[in-house]
């Protein structure tokens, strides 16, 4: 029911008679209150919908799909979580980290990534000058605090975490802790997602080791060759990354460090078919094969894993169509 209709019905039921001018003012005030409490963009969470979305639109990342589905479902169905959900995605460019965050967003909010409750921060774009770190930190803390005070189920995505200054990472830290309450606002229902390319070489190395041993890529799991431990150690010891000097890692505030494996040609082909659908092109499997084959792969001779993942697939496809 619209706020205006609600107020008019209320007045009629209460037999209250007001002048037109006062009624307009009353309706305007009621609209503000109604909008404040209205949860118009939060979807009723459906674990099966998220599972299907990941299965149909997220290719070649069986580890990430499994962890995301279970972690997000458990968090969203918990009426009283003891901390925010904190996910950290790791892998080389083009393996689907941004895409996965968009899938989560569209299963939480009606408008998905375009929701006013989804906040994206790109390190070099939003925090470009190290000399302004104090100002950046203050603004970041204010924005997170105000967003969650208005809407507890807010989502924050931080891209290029490997380039983020440790002072900025520590500015986020108070909001991630157990039973976090900052200046009277609880952050336990918020979602924080970190995206990083920093551990791509570690993840690629493990994947290549399995391939050289003749072990199928889908046999890799979080405990394979101590993959999760290697990722955590690499984050902590990376002298170029802000995590090294941040307290987020050693205080164990990240719930899941999720590896994104290098993609194979069959996965790139799936991405090409999706782009055909987005461009309203009739699906052409032979063309999809050709576009996928023409992307760069490594090792150079065997051409097993895509150098750029699914990044620039649309641009490559455009070369083959009118």
Binding-site annotation: residue ranges for ATP: 91-98
Q: Whole-angstrom Cα distance, residue 136 to residue 134?
A: 5
Check if the beta carbon of residue 71 is closer than 8 Å to that of residue 267: no
Q: Whole-angstrom Cα distance, residue 303 to residue 287?
A: 19
Backbone angles phi, psi at 122, to 5 degrees: -110, 120
Q: Show binding-site residues.
A: 91-98
Residue 188: CB atoms within 10 A of its CB come to 19
Q: Whole-angstrom Cα distance, residue 288 to residue 294?
A: 10
Provide the 3-class DSSP secondary structure of residue 148: helix
Measured in Å, how far apart are the chain's first and last C-alpha atoms?
48
Provide CB contacts within 8 A for 268, sequence distance 6+: 292, 295, 306, 309, 310, 313
Check if the beta carbon of residue 172 is closer than 8 Å to that of residue 166: no
Residues in a beta bridge with 90: 196, 259
8-state DSSP, 109: B
């Amino acid at each position: 029911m619209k706020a205006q209709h609600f107020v008019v019905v209320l007045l009629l039921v209460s037999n209250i008679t007001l002048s037109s001018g006062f009624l307009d003012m009353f309706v305007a005030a009621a609209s503000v209150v109604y909008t404040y409490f209205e949860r118009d963009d939060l979807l009723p969470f459906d674990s099966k919908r998220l599972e299907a979305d990941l299965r149909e639109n997220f290719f070649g990342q069986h580890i990430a799909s499994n962890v995301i589905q279970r972690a997000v479902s458990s968090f969203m169905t918990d009426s009283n979580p003891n901390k925010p959900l904190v996910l950290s995605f790791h892998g080389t460019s083009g393996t689907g980290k941004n895409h996965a965050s968009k899938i989560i967003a569209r299963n939480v909010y009606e408008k998905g990534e375009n929701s006013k409750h989804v906040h994206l921060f790109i390190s070099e774009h939003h925090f470009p000058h190290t000399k302004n770190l104090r100002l950046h930190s203050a603004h970041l803390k204010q924005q997170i605090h105000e967003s969650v005070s208005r809407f507890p189920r807010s989502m924050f995505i931080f891209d290029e975490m490997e380039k983020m200054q440790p002072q900025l990472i520590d500015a986020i830290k108070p909001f991630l802790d157990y039973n976090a309450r900052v200046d009277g606002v609880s952050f336990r229902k918020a979602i924080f997602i970190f995206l990083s390319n920093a551990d791509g070489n570690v993840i690629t190395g493990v994947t290549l080791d399995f391939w050289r041993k003749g072990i199928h890529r889908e046999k890799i799991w979080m405990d394979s060759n101590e993959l999760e431990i290697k990722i955590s150690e690499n984050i902590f010891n990376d002298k170029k990354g802000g995590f090294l000097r941040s307290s987020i890692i050693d205080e164990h505030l990240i719930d899941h460090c999720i590896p994104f494996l290098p993609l194979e040609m069959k996965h790139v082909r799936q991405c090409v078919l999706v782009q055909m659908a987005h461009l309203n092109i009739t699906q052409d499997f032979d063309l999809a094969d050709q576009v996928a084959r023409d992307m760069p792969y490594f090792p150079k001779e065997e051409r097993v894993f895509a150098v750029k993942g699914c990044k620039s697939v649309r641009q490559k496809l455009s070369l083959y169509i009118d």
